[in-house]
């Protein structure tokens, strides 16, 4: 009992001798506790406090990792990319730098910075020539980023490599059937020469019929008025109605094709994503 009492007193003396300041290990403990309690904003500040006190490199690394984790938990992925950029210094070992880069690439993808995630991926072999840089997770990020940028042939190649690496049957690739995107130019040309043609092509028959009806009404009004001798009405109402709805129809057909293509790409990317996660998860 006496030993226990002395130990406690010694511990208290050490705690008091820090003059109210937390030791780095305690600060890390606090930050971890806050993160564990789901208070990620406050935990991020606590990790920054550890870094502010310039701890040893081990504690520094734990704090940096903790801060990145907090930013990710708050879905502040763009901030995490920027943070990792500012924290990556040569004081870390090569393996740590590689791990941080992997984190940064994942955050860049999650922040919707697809070009950035690909460019960061391309940099890795040059920055870490002695290490294998393309982990399965990084391959997944590469494929998903390429998909989002609609660079499907490159994505298919990366997908094939990933499956080969994981020794999975490469014949069941979703890239065997790429989405069939429609041509905006074709839609414009169709609507120019056949009223409503572009809308039909874009898969919107209702809009196509409406366009045909309105343009026909304008044309009919123009012709009948012209034949009745109302030349100004034929021109000012009939031709104007036909002309404005015709040019509007052309623009609308272009927009509809863009929307159709975006939908197709989104559906295909979602399908690849679920397939990919299934394959990697096996």
Partner 1 sequence: MVKKLLVLVGQAIPFWFLVFQSPIIRAQTPADFGKEWRFAQYLSDKDAFPEAVYVLEQLEPLIQTAAQKDSLLYLRGWLAYTTKELTVAHQKLLLVSVTSPFYARSRYFGAYCLAFAGNRDSARVVMETLPIPNSTFRELRALQLAGVALLQRRYEDFDQQRNAFSYTSYALVNEQKRFNKYDSTLRAEKHRSPFVAGLYSAILPGLGKVYAGKPKQGIAAFLPILSLGLLTYEGLRKDGPRSARFIGFGSLFTLFYVGNIWGSILSVKAKRNEFKREYDNKILFDMHIPVRSLLN
Binding site for partner 1 (CB under 8 A): 1-2, 4-5, 8-9, 11-12, 15, 19-22, 26-27, 29-30, 33-34, 41-42, 44-46, 48-49, 52, 82-83, 86, 229-233, 236-237, 240
Residue-by-residue DSSP string for the chain = -HHHHHHHHHHHHHHHHTTTPPPHHHHHHHHHHHHHTT-HHHHHHHHHHHHHT---HHHHHHHHHHHHHHHHHTT-HHHHHHHHHHH--TTS-HHHHHHHHHHHHHHHHHTT-HHHHHHHHHHHHHH-TTS----HHHHHHHHHHHHHTT-HHHHHHHHHHHHHHTT--GGG-GGGS---PPPHHHHHHHHHHSTTHHHHHTT-HHHHHHHHHHHHHHHHHHHHHHHTT-HHHIIIIIIHHHHHHHHHHHHHHHHHHHHHHHHHHHHHHHHHHHHHHHHHH-
Closest to partner 1 by CB, 1 vs 171, is: 1
Least distance in angstroms from the C-beta of 48 to partner 1: 6
Residues 6+ apart with CB under 8 A from 108: 77, 81, 114, 116, 117, 120
Least distance in angstroms from the C-beta of 65 to partner 1: 16
Closest to partner 1 by CB, 8 vs 209, is: 8
Least distance in angstroms from the C-beta of 173 to partner 1: 43
Least distance in angstroms from the C-beta of 238 to partner 1: 11
Closest to partner 1 by CB, 120 vs 239, is: 239
Least distance in angstroms from the C-beta of 85 to partner 1: 11
Least distance in angstroms from the C-beta of 269 to partner 1: 32
Closest to partner 1 by CB, 49 vs 258, is: 49
Closest to partner 1 by CB, 92 vs 230, is: 230
Closest to partner 1 by CB, 83 vs 200, is: 83
């Amino acid at each position: 009992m006496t030993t226990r009492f002395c130990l406690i007193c010694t511990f208290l003396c050490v705690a008091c001798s820090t003059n109210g300041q937390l030791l780095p290990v305690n600060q890390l403990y606090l930050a971890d506790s806050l993160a564990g309690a789901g208070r990620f904003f406050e935990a991020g500040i606590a990790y920054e406090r550890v870094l502010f006190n310039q701890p040893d490199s081990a504690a520094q690394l734990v704090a940096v990792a903790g801060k990145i984790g907090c930013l990710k938990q708050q879905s502040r992925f763009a901030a995490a990319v920027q943070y990792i950029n500012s924290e990556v210094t040569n004081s870390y070992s090569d393996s740590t730098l590689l791990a941080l880069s992997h984190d940064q690439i994942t955050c860049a993808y999650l922040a919707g910075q697809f070009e950035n995630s690909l460019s960061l991926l391309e940099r890795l072999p040059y920055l870490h020539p002695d290490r294998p840089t393309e982990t399965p997770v990084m391959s997944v990020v590469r494929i998903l980023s390429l998909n989002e940028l609609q660079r499907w042939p490159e994505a298919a190649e990366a997908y094939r490599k990933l499956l080969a690496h994981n020794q999975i049957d490469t014949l069941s690739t979703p890239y065997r059937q790429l989405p069939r995107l429609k041509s905006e130019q074709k839609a414009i040309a169709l609507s120019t020469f056949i009223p409503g043609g572009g809308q039909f092509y874009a898969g919107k028959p209702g809009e196509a019929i409406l366009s045909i009806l309105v343009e026909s009404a304008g044309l009919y009004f123009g012709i009948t008025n012209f034949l009745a001798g109302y030349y100004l009405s034929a021109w000012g109402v009939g031709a104007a109605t036909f002309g404005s709805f015709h040019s509007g129809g052309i623009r609308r057909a272009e927009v509809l094709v863009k929307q159709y293509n975006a939908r197709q790409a989104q559906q295909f990317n979602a399908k690849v994503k679920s397939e990919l996660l299934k394959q990697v998860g096996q």
